[in-house]
Amino acid sequence: MEKFLQLWENTGLYQIELGQAVMIAIGMLLLYLAIKKNFEPLLLVPIGFGAVLANIPAAGIAEPGGLLHMMYTIGIESGAFPLLIFMGVGAMTDFGPLLANPKTLFLGAAAQFGIFATLGGAILLSYLGIFDFSLGDAAAIGIIGSADGPTAIYVASKLAPELLGAIAVAAYAYMALVPLIQPPIMRALTTEAERKIRMHQQRHVSQREKILFPLLLLVLVAFLLPDAAPLLGMFCFGNLMKECAVVDRLSNTTQNSLINTVTIFLGLAVGSRLHAESFLNSTTLGILSLGIVAFAVGTAAGIIMAKILNKISKEPINPLIGSAGVSAVPMAARVSNKLGLEADKHNFLLMHAMGPNVAGVIGSAVAAGILINFVS
Amino acid sequence: MEKFLQLWENTGLYQIELGQAVMIAIGMLLLYLAIKKNFEPLLLVPIGFGAVLANIPAAGIAEPGGLLHMMYTIGIESGAFPLLIFMGVGAMTDFGPLLANPKTLFLGAAAQFGIFATLGGAILLSYLGIFDFSLGDAAAIGIIGSADGPTAIYVASKLAPELLGAIAVAAYAYMALVPLIQPPIMRALTTEAERKIRMHQQRHVSQREKILFPLLLLVLVAFLLPDAAPLLGMFCFGNLMKECAVVDRLSNTTQNSLINTVTIFLGLAVGSRLHAESFLNSTTLGILSLGIVAFAVGTAAGIIMAKILNKISKEPINPLIGSAGVSAVPMAARVSNKLGLEADKHNFLLMHAMGPNVAGVIGSAVAAGILINFVS
Amino acid sequence: MEKFLQLWENTGLYQIELGQAVMIAIGMLLLYLAIKKNFEPLLLVPIGFGAVLANIPAAGIAEPGGLLHMMYTIGIESGAFPLLIFMGVGAMTDFGPLLANPKTLFLGAAAQFGIFATLGGAILLSYLGIFDFSLGDAAAIGIIGSADGPTAIYVASKLAPELLGAIAVAAYAYMALVPLIQPPIMRALTTEAERKIRMHQQRHVSQREKILFPLLLLVLVAFLLPDAAPLLGMFCFGNLMKECAVVDRLSNTTQNSLINTVTIFLGLAVGSRLHAESFLNSTTLGILSLGIVAFAVGTAAGIIMAKILNKISKEPINPLIGSAGVSAVPMAARVSNKLGLEADKHNFLLMHAMGPNVAGVIGSAVAAGILINFVS
Amino acid sequence: MDDYNLLTDGLNLMMLGMGFVFVFLTVLVLATSIMSWAITKYEKSVGKLPEEGIPAPTAVLAHSKLEKPARLTSDQPIIPILTAAIHKYRRNKKN
Amino acid sequence: MDDYNLLTDGLNLMMLGMGFVFVFLTVLVLATSIMSWAITKYEKSVGKLPEEGIPAPTAVLAHSKLEKPARLTSDQPIIPILTAAIHKYRRNKKN
Amino acid sequence: MDDYNLLTDGLNLMMLGMGFVFVFLTVLVLATSIMSWAITKYEKSVGKLPEEGIPAPTAVLAHSKLEKPARLTSDQPIIPILTAAIHKYRRNKKN
Ligand code: NA
Ligand code: NA
Ligand code: NA
């Protein structure tokens, strides 16, 4: 009887707290968004499931000794998982469109204004006493505007580990929402005539350029911003493996089983940080609101920069490709293409938008390096 | 000369003890059974080879600093490997037949009687002074009756780590012997007429049911038996990845390179626990004898429950599918099918036996949760 | 302003030391050799890139807390990565040609003279005061002559971790240079008539022999040289998985995603040991010079042994296959074939040279075991 | 723990365990049956899910549905696909 | 360890090492030759192993050997295969 | 750190950060342009790299280039290939 009581007292029903129930519901909501609404399912399925597992009362899966805690310690706290994902993303990235038109790097730079404006906003809200963000918190919230999951997770794990769960969820959710967030801003900031601008055919980029570019980028990072070297270093390594064509078997594994395995573990580990205590408070609301501001400001900054470039440059530049500078690869580039087709059904912008799109990844990693350097 | 002597004294021939030689022979026997007799080769090849490596005198491969010891600490002691295997098994499991006929869950429940009867038997033998099993030992021995490798390893690593080697070997060996162990019991407990019973065609199960079932199971586990949450949670996660169809690349990696890699490491690590001291004693004989009792009792209980269900239920249920409730996926289901065909060569039971077969996996994991909860 | 200064002082340009710049250049040189000259690219691309990453000033990627340092500690210091690579190599090795003609094992034995002669040379240079090598250093340098990457890394990580970077680079570079190093020696030591010797068609080797051979080898190692048991044990395990044909899915993963993943991590980790302090000194020059001596002596010893065997044996043995005894699989066997074809364009030696080639792997691992036993 | 306690504990665990397994799986049978009944009813009015998964958000990308590009995002590396598309596009243009 | 000792040790290791490599590989040549001779003799009376591996235990499942289902267990995920089989079966039934 | 300092630091970081991103990417634009210009010029006289990678060292193995065996080393497991080749060779011989 005593043992029977013990069993009952050990059930989840007896032990559950309201916060855990709410977090399980939030995990389920993430699964619903991922599976039914196709919100970045590769990440949100593991994150959502991880959130459910982590909040099962008395199971301790996310506490020391539990599997998810182990994954978090080994992979996120150490920075290893985001770096390995970056290596895989590098091995899947084609810098061809960027090399064909290096000016698009300015679009990738401009779109990072979302990060810094949001950082400023978070500081201001803190100064006004509405929230209580430290400089590290503000920087980690701003990085949501990088529209790049592994970068956001890497920076948050270094500068504000207790906010990691909310920041990662915000980053992936808004990346999935890019087709809803960006178009109104893009339409508001461009004229019909601008959206109809046709861009010149891209030149052919030689294999030698593609092999040397990651090395050039690596050297610049090494000399100018060592704090971005882990992120961009692994990114360049993945890309070099792909482009050099003599280590295809390594590159294939990097693009497939390696990145898939790490994605599963990373997602579960991030999900394990969705605790009631750290998620169910006004801070999370602040993060979610500031995050969408970051996306919107980044989008606007990219478009405005594209309009400026269009004025300066001899070659025509369609301002719609500016919004692709926020990264969110390849969704943002597809949104640019979509709006181009809406204005003129023969105006294919996809290849042109891939330049600022991958430039955005570089820009975000540079911004991440500066934040880490400055704050820590 | 002194150095030459040192070399000789360092050879295995000089240092070998009888126990190590016997254990190497046992490792070779496992390899023989796996390769020549096809006894669960995916596990018994690594386990057998691990046993040989672990007993090489003076090499210390299974001692602190050695590779197999590292694998054991990282993967088994922490529980990570069995849980990852369970994720992979989940991603390979089709709950369709179970959902088409949920009553077969009762067969999966009944067959767990093998676990608890064996536990009782072990306690009794201990009470009679024949063996000296603690409650944890008895529970770990009973779990052999789960007919499920990762579950047995997970429970044994928590409740009786010193018996892990013998328990894992018994579990896999008897799973391989299912086609020999089950048929006599099945024939003894059923009449020819019962074996000829044809079951109705299964209804079609919709994708939505398959997606929601792992989540439903997870919620029930979370609320009723948190101790089973790691095992069933990873199982449900794997299954959800497979069924939701939006993360196919993660699901494919889980079913292939990830589960294969973990299987190799798990097998070697389990093999490293086959030490002379802990294996060459009467306890192992007790484990092997009790283990086969567990399989036999579980088989019988499943069949009897199927006969009861057949009486109660409106739809006919062939008692032969009851034995598939022990799990041993998919061997037990194939044995049911085989005996059905023997009685009536047009009586295909395979699809019907898959229901209790996967129900047995769930039932075993629930039983594992109770054992862990009660004992620790 | 103060913060701006801090940013500048944190740049690589401000902090770089000459040594780091030189090491980055050396990393780039390795990448050039790997990509443009196809010098063992599967290893030298990750090693070269790792060297660049490790020498980025102020980034600390190879220091405690950094990703490459983590890889080094987890995978190299523990010995795990070389052993896993050996398992993969075992799963890719066909012992058929060796079993068809076991006498070729003597060629694999003779070619190990390169290892021991070099060891002696290093000791002598130390005795003469030209270098300052300990016995462990000398043994680790000698192992370059194994012409086998994982063996060299395994031994160096145990006996002379501070020389690991230079030794690994020398081993892989000279393996890539085998088509340049070996032919002059082979031509000098053989007559035109010898090079024209045609060998008998190899007998068919049965599957049972191929399955039992790795077990036989394992037992001999276990009894005679336990210190070689980790290396040869994992090698035999991989080979058994391949040959037994009942665990093909494990064997396939071992040969593909597992060995590829480990190769990437191993390469980066080895590269991280290319520090200015430990690489830019006269010791490295000594290692590079002694390393090429090791290759040359091994090649010569293999050929001379082949000439002796040709005298003794009833069946004709072409001395050109002796040089394949250094391992460097499969490059050395192809060089033998090439020179055979040069002398007589219908004299195909490839299959015959594969025997000594894999014998060289076994011989090197045995030599490694002796060095570890003797020195530590 | 003396031997008698061990026996009692063992008996307790046997009964409790077997009982709980049946309770749990009975609850699961009920819950599953209810779920299947509800889904079947729901799907009669709403329609079934596609077995190959749901396509990506369509709010904006709606009319490109016919070409099914969105489906690709979820389970294939998109960038290589785009790259390949670019190469194909260029090659075609050259001819 | 002084320099002279280093020299002796090095010489010792050279001779011992090279000697042991030869001893070991000589033993291996002998053992391998004996093994091959024994196997060849044995296989003349018993027959060879199939190169694609041994099929699963046949005690009970004997007469399904012709369809070779057992072979699948060992190196392929069986459940997806069964699943596929079920799907195929249903599809055929529908037609 | 009091609130005022936080505000100053935030402002500093905003300006410094955005400024540095632009400086870095401007340098990258320049460097990339120079690199592309130099490579294009160089390739006019020397020729382009093959997109499928460079073949293995050819010093000795030169005239087997036509059969392209060297290419295989770099991205495929060579031993299985050789093994397969041996098997094929034997099989052909038997026939
Ligand atoms: Na970005
Ligand atoms: Na079971
Ligand atoms: Na060698």
Task: Kindly determine whether residue E16 and residue B7, on different chains, have CB atoms separated by under 8 Å.
Answer: yes
Q: What is the pLDDT of residues A260-288, one digit of tens each?
A: 999 999 999 999 999 888 899 889 999 99
Average pLDDT over residues A22-51: 95
CB of C39 within 8 Å of a chain F CB? The answer is: yes
Contacts of B103 (CB under 8 A, 6+ apart): B309, B313, B317, D29
Measure A309 CA to nearest chain B CA, in Å. Answer: 39
Task: Kindly indicate the confidence band of residue D70, based on its pLDDT and cuts at 50, 70 and 90.
Answer: very low
Q: How confident is the model at residue D74, as a pLDDT?
A: 37
Which residues of chain F make contact with C333, given a CB cutoff of 8 A? 82
Q: CA-CA distances (angstroms) from residue E13 to B51, C146, E5?
A: 32, 16, 12
Among A175, A145, A103, which Cα is nearest to A300's? A145
Neighbours of B85 (CB within 10 A): 25
Contact A38 D59 (CB under 8 A): no
Q: What is the mean pLDDT of residues C251-280?
A: 94
Q: What is the pLDDT of residue D82?
A: 47
The model's confidence at residue D54, banded by pLDDT at 50, 70 and 90, is low
**Angle, in degrees to the nearest 10, between helices D3-46 and B207-224:** 150
| Cα E70 to middle of ligand 3, angstroms | 41
Cβ–Cβ gap B246/A35 under 8 Å: yes
Whether residue E90 is predicted with pLDDT greater than 60 in this model: the reply is: no
Q: Angle at CA A98, nearest 5°, toward A94 and A101?
A: 145
From the number of C-beta atoms within 10 Å of its C-beta (0-12, 13-18, 19+), residue C78 rates as middle
User: pLDDT-based confidence at F51, cuts 50/70/90?
Assistant: low
Name the token pair of A37: 């609404």
pLDDT tens digits, one per residue of C125-138: 999 999 999 999 99
Cα angle A79-A84-A85, degrees, rounded to a multiple of 5:
105
pLDDT for D64 beyond 90: no
For F29, the closest of A105, A224, A244 (CB atoms) is A105
Sign of CA pseudo-dihedral C304, C309, C310, C316: negative
Q: What is the pLDDT of residue F47?
A: 79
B221-235, C5-19, C97-111: least confidently modelled range: C5-19
* CA A108 – ligand 1 centroid, Å: 7
Mean pLDDT (whole number) for C53-75:
93
pLDDT at position A275: 87
pLDDT digits 0-9 by tens, C144-190: 999 999 999 999 999 999 999 999 999 999 999 999 999 999 999 99
- Cβ distance B11 to C254 less than 8 Å, yes or no, reads no
Considering every ligand atom shown, identify the ligand nearest to the alpha carbon of residue A365 and give its number.
1
Q: Give Cβ neighbours of residue B264 (< 8 Å, ≥ 6 apart).
A: B46, C250, C253, C254, C258
**Mutation for testing the B interface, residue in E11, E60, E87 having most B CBs under 10 Å:** E60
F3 or C26, which is more confident: C26
Cross-chain Cβ contact E86/B338 below 8 Å:
no
**Alpha carbons E16 and C371: distance in angstroms, whole number:** 10
d(CA B164, CA C111): 45
Cα nearest neighbour of B47 on chain C: C237
pLDDT recorded at residue B148: 94
Report pLDDT for E52.
66
User: B368, B151 in Cβ contact below 8 A?
Assistant: yes
CB–CB contact A10 B227 (8 Å): yes
Whether residue B288 has pLDDT greater than 80: yes
Q: Whose CA is closest to A236, among A25, A89, A360, A374?
A: A89
Residue F46 pLDDT grade (very low, low, confident, very high; cuts 50, 70, 90): confident
Nearest residue, CB atoms, D83 vs list A37, A94, A333: A94
Dihedral-angle region of residue B38 (phi above 0 means left; psi in -120 to 50 means alpha; beta otherwise): left
Give per-residue burial for B289-327: e unless 16+ CB within 10 Å, then b. Answer: ebbbbbbbbbbbbbbbbbbbbbeeeeeebbbbbbbbbbb
All partners of chain C with 3 or more CB pairs under 8 angstroms? A, B, E, F
Q: How confident is the model at residue C337 (pLDDT cuts 50, 70, 90)?
A: very high
pLDDT confidence of A4, banded at 50, 70, 90?
low
The reported pLDDT for the residue numbered B16 is 73
Cβ distance of B229 and A59 shorter than 8 Å: yes
Q: Which ligand is nearest to the CA of B174?
A: 2
Provide the percentage of residues in chain C whose pLDDT is more than 70: 96
pLDDT value at residue F53: 64
Segment B338-365, tens digit of pLDDT: 999 999 999 999 999 999 999 999 999 9
Per-residue pLDDT tens digits for B168-212: 999 999 999 999 999 999 999 999 999 999 999 989 999 999 999
- Does A215 have pLDDT greater than 80? yes
Q: Is B131 on the interface with D (CB under 8 A)?
A: no
Q: Do chains D and C touch (3 or more CB pairs under 8 A)?
A: no
Sorting pLDDT into bands at 50, 70 and 90, what band is B300?
very high
Instruction: Kindly report which listed range (A220-224, B287-291, C274-278, D34-38) carries the lowest average pLDDT score.
Output: C274-278
Q: Does C4 have pLDDT greater than 80?
A: no
Q: How confident is the model at residue B221 (pLDDT cuts 50, 70, 90)?
A: very high
**pLDDT at residue D59 is higher than 70:** no
D80 touches chain B (CB under 8 A): no
Q: Does B134 touch chain D (CB under 8 A)?
A: yes
Identify the pLDDT of residue A93: 96
Predicted pLDDT at E48: 77
Q: Do chains A and C touch (3 or more CB pairs under 8 A)?
A: yes
What is the structure's pLDDT at B141?
96
Secondary structure E strands in chain F: none
Per DSSP, C40 falls in state S
pLDDT band (50, 70, 90) for residue F54: low
Distance CA B72, CA B164 (A): 11
Whether pLDDT at A230 is above 70? yes
Predicted local confidence at residue A104, as pLDDT = 93
Q: Please give the Cα distance from A333 to A302 (Å, whole number).
A: 12
Per-residue pLDDT reduced to its tens digit, B26-61: 999 999 999 999 999 999 999 999 999 999 988 889
- The three-class DSSP label of residue A52 is helix
Start-to-end CA span in chain F (Å): 86
Comparing CB atoms, the residue among E10, E43, E51 nearest residue C120 is: E10
B60 touches chain A (CB under 8 A): no
Residue E72 pLDDT level (bands cut at 50, 70, 90): very low
Per-residue pLDDT, A357:
96
Instruction: Say if residue C254's pLDDT is above 80.
Output: yes
Interface confidence (ipTM) of the complex: 0.88
Burial class (CB in 10 A: 0-12, 13-18, 19+), A278: middle
Instruction: State the pLDDT at residue F67.
Output: 36
**Per-residue pLDDT averaged across A211-225, rounded?**
94
Q: Considering only alpha carbons, which residue of chain C is nearest residue A260?
A: C257
Token digits for A342?
A: 């809406």
What average pLDDT does range B102-114 have in this prediction? 96
- For B244-261, how does the pLDDT look when each residue is reduced to its tens digit (9 = 90+)? 999 999 999 999 999 999
Per-residue confidence (pLDDT) for residue B12, from 0 to 100: 62
Question: What tens digit of pLDDT does each residue of A76-85 get?
Answer: 999 999 999 9
Could you tell me if A375 and A135 are in contact, meaning their C-beta atoms sit under 8 angstroms apart? yes
A40-73 exposure pattern, b = at least 16 Cβ within 10 A, e = fewer: bbbbbbbbbbbbbbbbbbbbbbbeeebbbbbbbe
C138–chain F nearest CA distance, Å: 30
Work out the mean pLDDT of chain B and round it to a whole number: 93
User: What percentage of residues in chain A have a pLDDT greater than 70?
Assistant: 96
Residue F60 has its nearest CB partner, among C3, C335, C354, at: C335
Q: How far is the CA of A330 from the centre of ligand 1 (A)?
A: 11
pLDDT band at A59 (very low <50, low <70, confident <90, very high): confident
Interface of C with E in 56-115 (CB under 8 A): 99, 102-103, 105-106, 108-109, 112-113, 115
Reply yes or no on whether the pLDDT at A184 is more than 90: yes
